Amino acid sequence: MEISFIDKRLESIYSKVLKGSRLSKKDGICIYETHDLIGLGLIANHVRRSLHGNKAFYIYNQHLNYTNICKNRCRFCAYARDRKEKGAYVWSIDQIEKRLLERIDEPVNELHIVGGLNVDLSFEYFIDLLKTVKRVRPNATIKAFTCVEIDYLSNLAGLSLEDTIQRLKDAGLEMMPGGGAEILNSRVHKELFPKKIGHVRWLEIVRAVHKAGIKTNATMLYGHIETIEERVDHLISLRTLQDETAGFSAFIPLAFHAENTKLSHLPPTTAVDDLKNVAAARLMLDNFAHIKAYWVMIGEKLAQVALSFGADDLDGTIIEERITHMAGAKSAKGLTKDQMEDMITKAGLEPVERDSFYHPIK
């Protein structure tokens, strides 16, 4: 397809994409700098269509955030609380079971389980949590814990990383979400989340998890203090690790929400930046099969548009999102299957309900 670009720099990016050549750091920076949004979208959509044709995926999932008590207190987080602070909570295993049973008649396919680093919880709590979820919902995939939690659990249990992962896997862990990466860079780490593991450890844990046969997602939290160069470096770090392990399933750009955080003076991300992040991911991450437009963070309407800017997946129904809503997200807390399908159909695409591993649900 001939494209007449307003920004002529996109011509060489398009010709690399057509030849299947890998984009460079300079190309990545150009993707973020360009004002030719439609030209960029056409290139990203070309890649998206060559990988997935007319299909757009979604999943029937449920989020469970077992505690918001967290010792890390990252500056961008509105969700975490100290133990005695108003609004702090931790769910007992019985409460988790009750939450699962409340929705047992719904066709939930995946349970997305993450929480804060709560020093009152024992390693056995996590094993019990996984076993309980598997018992109550044997047919749903357990996608649980970020690398931050895995690092914490390994210290808590006094076990090696490999043994920790194996114990969790034996108890029912099947996949891991992509959170906790934020921006893989020491400057931003020091400024925004100094108590949390840094990028070297994050990548080390992902490598070990992939080696243990567990697929994970990857994310990037953008729209705070990071530079364009740091975003591109982040994407290239993920791409390099994916070359080595092939263990990443999807990438999800996460738009920063500032309300109720230590960075509440920062403006929200713009629609243009949100779409550029989706397109940049699709173009730079040539070895990732899936890019998600996370409607919770960019809103339902823009997520629908993002399906034409490189995204092939809208994540899921979710039901009860907490982390972004505590930081001021105005999107719904959950969507129905009909709403997800309607968004996709009205974008001219074919909705495919999937499981955690992108197998279509019959």
Q: Given the complex with ligand SF4, which of 15 and 260 has the nearer CB atom?
A: 260
Amino acid symbol at 178: G
Candidates 139, 144, 67; CA nearest to 113 is: 144
The Cα 161–Cα 168 span in angstroms is 11
Site membership for ligand SF4, residue 279 (CB under 6 A): no
The interface partner of residue 178, options being ligand SF4, ligand V47, none and the CB cut-off 5 to 8 Å by kind, is: ligand V47
Q: How far is the CB of 191 from ligand SF4 (least distance, A)?
A: 14
Which listed range, 14-22, 68-76, 206-214, 273-281, lies at the site for ligand SF4 (CB under 6 A)?
68-76
Site membership for ligand SF4, residue 329 (CB under 6 A): no
Q: Contact residues for ligand V47 (CB under 6 A)?
A: 76-78, 146, 177-180, 182, 217, 219, 221, 252, 254, 256-257, 261, 294, 297, 315, 323-324, 327
Q: How far is the CB of 262 from ligand SF4 (least distance, A)?
A: 11
Footprint (CB under 6 A) of ligand SF4, residues 31-60: none
Site membership for ligand SF4, residue 262 (CB under 6 A): no
3-state class (DSSP) for residue 76: coil
The Cα 276–Cα 356 span in angstroms is 26
The interface partner of residue 327, options being ligand SF4, ligand V47, none and the CB cut-off 5 to 8 Å by kind, is: ligand V47
| Burial (Cβ within 10 Å: 0-12, 13-18, ≥19) of residue 184 | buried
Q: How far is the CB of 349 from ligand V47 (least distance, A)?
A: 20
Encoded tokens for 110: 């995946």
Name residues whose C-beta falls within 8 Å of residue 97's C-beta, 6 or more positions apart in sequence: 132, 136
Q: Given the complex with ligand V47, which of 14 and 152 has the nearer CB atom?
A: 152
Of 70, 140, 165, 252, the one binding ligand SF4 (CB under 6 A) is: 70
Site membership for ligand SF4, residue 77 (CB under 6 A): yes
The Cα 39–Cα 11 span in angstroms is 9
Question: Per-residue b/e over 243-280, b at no fewer than 16 CB within 10 Å?
Answer: eeeebbbbbbbbbbbbeebebeeeebbebeebbbbbbb
Give the interface with ligand SF4 as residue ranges (CB under 6 A).
70, 72-74, 77, 79-80, 116-117, 148, 193, 196
